Chains A and B, each alone.
Chain A
Amino acid sequence: MLEIKDLHVSIDGKEILKGLNLTINAGEVHAIMGPNGTGKSTLASVIAGKEEYEITSGSITYKGKDLAEFSVEERSQEGIFLAFQYPVEIPGVSMINFMRTVVDERRKYQGLEPIAPVDFLKLVKEKSKLVEINEKMKGRAVNEGFSGGEKKKNEVFQMAMIDPSLAIMDETDSGLDIDALRIVAKGINELRSDKNAYVVITHYQRLLDYIIPDFVHIMNDGKIVQSGDKGLALELEEKGYENL
C-alpha cells in the first residue's frame, strides 16, 4: 500500500528526514516509536501532504502512485487519513456541517450523489457509538473547547466517518487518561481490517497493549534504525532508547 524509499525531507533548509525506508501492506499495523525530535511527526505530515515540507530526494509511493503528485485533499480522497497530534480548534465551523461536507466531497470524488440526510444521521449515530462520543460534542464547533480526550476521540470519530485505507495516528495516545485511551484503542481495533493499514506513532508502549502492532519501528535522527515485532516495544520500555 505504501512504500517509502530513501526519503529525505527538509523544512526551511533544515533536513529532518535523512533517508527513511518503510513498507506497509494492507492489513498491517505499524508502530513508530522514538525520542522527541527524531522526525516522527514530520513523517506523518509529509505523508498527509503538508506543503511546508520539501522532499529533497527519495519517494513515497501509495497504491502504486507517486504521492508527490497529489494535493493534501487529493491524498485524503485517495484514502489517507492523518489523526492529528494536536487537533485544530476551528471556531464557528460546526462539527456536523463539517462532517456533512467531508462525506459529500468524498462521494463527489467517487462519482456519487450527496448523501441523503437520513442516511447521514444514521452514519453519524453509528460511528459516534464507536468512540462513545456524546451528542453535544457534535453540535459544537470543530474541537472548540473540547478536552484533550474529546479531541482525540473526535479524530477517531472522523476517521470512522471517512473509512480510510491508510490511517496515520500521530500520538493519538498522548494526553489521554486510561479510560479515554481504552475507548480510542477500541475504536481503532474495530476499524481494523485486512483492507486498511495503520501507522501508530507513539512514545509509549502503553498504547500497544491495546493496539497490537504487527511491526514496531524505532526512529532516530530522521531514519528508522531498528525494526521488529511487538517484542521490540517491550524491550524498549525496559531498556530505554539509549541502550538499544
Chain B
Amino acid sequence: MDLKENSISIFGKNQDKLLQVKGLNRSASMTDFESMGFPNSKMEKWQKSNIRKVLKKDYIFKLTAKPASVSTPLDPGFDVVGTVGFQNASYTGSTNLTKTAQGVLFGSLEAAMAEYPAIVEQHLNKYIKEKLNGLNALNNALFTNGFFLYVPKNTTVELPLYFYNKMTETEASFSQFRNLMIVEGGSTVNVIHSDLGIEKGSAFVNSVSEIFVGQNAELNWYREQDLGKEESLINSVFCYQERDSRFKVINTSLSGSMIRNDVHVKMDGEGCYSDILGLYLPYSGEQVDNQVFVEHAKPNCISNELFKGVLDGNGTSIFNGHILVKQDAQKTNAYQTNRNIVLSDDASAFAKPFLEIYADDVKCSHGATIGQLDQKALFYLRSRGLSEDTAKSFLIKAFVGEVLEACGHDIFRENVELKVKKKLENK
C-alpha cells in the first residue's frame, strides 16, 4: 500500500477517536487530501523537491499514544517561563496545560482543545485555508497534538518559552504535528523551538503551525531543525498579523534528509512588520527547501526576508520567495534576499525570487546570489598567515552570522552557532 492509500485507511480506522473542533471538518479535509494527494515535483512549488524520496518509505503512523518511555525532558540551558516537550510527536509533560500568573496558557494542543475550546475554535484552521496543499489537508484530517500557546491581551512575557519535539525511534514513522500560537493585542512573547532527531532515525514529520499576532503584539520565534540524516520535516507556517503587529521567525535548518519550511505571512492591518529569516546547511544527501509567501494586504507594512545557505557535498537547497502586494497596500516596503555559498561542484542551489505588485507606491527589492567563497577575501586572510581552513571558516562564519545576529536570544544563538561550526568542521 502506498502512503496515500495508507493515510486514507488510517483515517477510516481512527476518525471516531480524533478530537473534533468546531470549524474543523476532518472528513472534508480527508476528502481534500484524497483529491489532491501528496505534492509532487511536477507542481510549481515542488520543483526540484526530494519529496518523492521521502514518501517512498514504509511508515508507521503516529497517532495519539504517549511514548512508552519518556526520556528526561530536555534542559534548554537558559531561563524559560516553561518548557513544552514532545517525544515522537507525543506530549511528554505531566501537566497538560500550564497557566501562569499572567494568564498565559501553554502546553499540549490536545488539552487546549478539550479545556479551552472557545479559544482554540476562534483560531484553529482559520489561517491555513487559503493556501492549502495535500499535506496541509492531511494534517487537518489526522493531527492529534502539538504545541499550544495563548498569551492574553497586554501581557509581556519576559522569559522565552521553550518548545521541542524530539524523534527518538529508528523505525520509520509518519506523524502529523499541529501547533497553535495565539498572541493577543499588545502582548509580547519569545518562543524558542527545537525539532530534533537521532542519528539513526527515519521519521517523517508533517507539521503545521497556525499563528495569530494581534494588534500591536509581537512574536519572535527562533527555531532550530537538527534531525538525523534520514529524517525529514515538512513544516508549514501560517501567520496572520493584525495592525501594528510584529512577527519574526528564524528557521535554522542544520541537518536532516529533507527539511522544508513553507512560511506564509498575511499582514492584514496597517503598520505591520515581519522578519522572515532562514539559515541552511545542506551537505551530502540533504535538502533544505524554503518557500515564503508574504502577503501585503494593507498599506504601510514592512517585510524583510533574509535566507542564507552554505552547501557542500551533493546537498541541495531551494528558495522560492513570493511577495504579493495587493492594490490597497500602498507604501509597502518589502525586501527579499537569498544568498548561497556552494562549496562543492556537486551541490546545487536553486533560487527563485518573485514579486507580484498591484499597488503603485511601494518599495520592493529582491536579490539572489549563488557563488563560492570570495577568493580575494580568502587570499587576503591567508596572506596574513591564516591557514586556508581557518580563512574559510572565518568567511563562512561571517556569512551565516548575518542571519544569526537577528536572533534576539544570546544563549540559543550561541548554541546554534556551535552546531553550525561543528557541521562546517566535520564535513
Contacts and interface: CB of A to CB of B under 8 A. Distances in A.
Contacts of A93: 381, 394-395, 397-398
Given A48-B383, A72-B382, A106-B385, A101 B390 contact: yes
B393 to A, nearest CB: 10
Interface of B: 374, 376-377, 379-388, 390-391, 394-395, 397-399, 401-402
B247 to A, nearest CB: 26
A27 interface: no
Given A77-B385, A92-B397, A102-B385, A72 B390 contact: no
A48 B374 CA distance: 18
A125 interface: no
Contacts of A109: 385
A215 interface: no
Q: Is the interface of B mostly helix, strand, loop or mixed?
A: helix
Give the bracket for the number of chain A residues in contact with chain B.
20 to 34
Minimum-distance CB pairs A-B, first 3: A92-B398, A76-B385, A72-B382
Contacts of A92: 397-399, 401-402
Nearest to B376: A88
Contacts, number: 69
B382 A88 contact: no
Given A90-B380, A90-B381, A73 B387 contact: yes
A91 interface: yes
B398 A162 contact: no
Contacts of A50: 379
A95 to B, nearest CB: 12
A102 B390 CA distance: 10
A148 interface: no
Interface in A77-98: 77, 81-82, 84, 87-88, 90-93, 98
Contacts of B399: 92
A76 B380 CA distance: 11
Contacts of B397: 92-93
Contact of B385 (A84, A87, A162): A162
Interface string A46-82: 0011100000000000000000000111011100011
Given A73-B387, A87-B380, A88-B374, 14 more contacts: A50-B379, A72-B379, A76-B382, A76-B385, A81-B383, A84-B380, A88-B376, A88-B377, A90-B377, A90-B398, A93-B394, A93-B395, A102-B384, A162-B384
